[in-house]
Amino acid sequence: MNAVRRIAVVTGAGSGIGRSVALALAEDGWSLALAGRRAEPLEETAALAAARGGAGAEALCVPTDVTSPDAVAALFAAVRDRFGRVDLLFNNAGSFAGGGTPVEDLAYDTWRSVVDTNLTGAFLCAQAAYRQMKEQAPQGGRIINNGSISAHVPRPHSIAYTATKHAMTGLTKSLSLDGRPYRIACGQIDIGNAATEMTERMQSGILQANGTLAPEPVMDAADVARTVAHMAALPLEANVQFATVMATAMPYIGRG
């Protein structure tokens, strides 16, 4: 990995966990390529990163629809033109569309949208990063996929999200295996109840496996970001294959 300037691509960087991770990486001196659907939140993340960044940190904002092969290719071309290489991809963009909808009522278009964003989008970004990491000199880099507690156990009425997060685990394992000859490490962080816009409803009450509504504890997204930053800082000879970071008292152990 480039010891002078390390380059990280963060998807879903305009809010939530993506923003928190971008800020943690900036504090550690990483230069950032920030990807997300809307330019304004990315610019806000870039400004926060600039205020907190370590020596040499800078940010490039690239509005990107990760479901589009052309948009993903343009993202990595912009990163290559600006920075010359990619040392880290945090594959974070995701959608919980259709959450709370029973299986029998879930619209095909909603299913397709979640699969396209959470799985196909993650694949497209990982493929582009893999290609760059394989060809650059020095060779190699790291991909960290954002899985979820739902990569292990589902919530009620979350079939699309849960299926894509289980698939993310297979994506992680395949990338980890196929990347070995090229010094490409791949790991996954499975997150439970980080306090973001997506999890606000958990504090007022969310459907449980027994059919009741109950509030759930959350944790600061900065605690997730510190874990990702640790994974990212390891030499390529070491890898956190899977990490689970969760609100301590959330119903995961013993869920359902």
Return the active site residues: 161
Whose tokens are 């290609």? That residue is 131
Distance CA 158, CA 241 (A): 25
Q: Starting from the edge strand earliest in sequence, which strands make up the sheet with 31-36, in order?
A: 59-63, 31-36, 7-11, 88-91, 141-146, 184-192, 242-246
Tokens at 110, concatenated: 């909603």
**H or E element at residue 61:** strand 59-63
Nearest Cα neighbor of 121 from 11, 230, 254 is 11
Nearest Cα neighbor of 243 from 158, 108, 148 is 148
Distance CA 149, CA 147 (A): 7
| Cβ neighbours of residue 177 closer than 8 Å, sequence gap 6 or more | none
Work out the number of other CB atoms within 10 angstroms of the CB of residue 114: 24
Distance CA 137, CA 106 (A): 47
Distance CA 203, CA 206 (A): 8
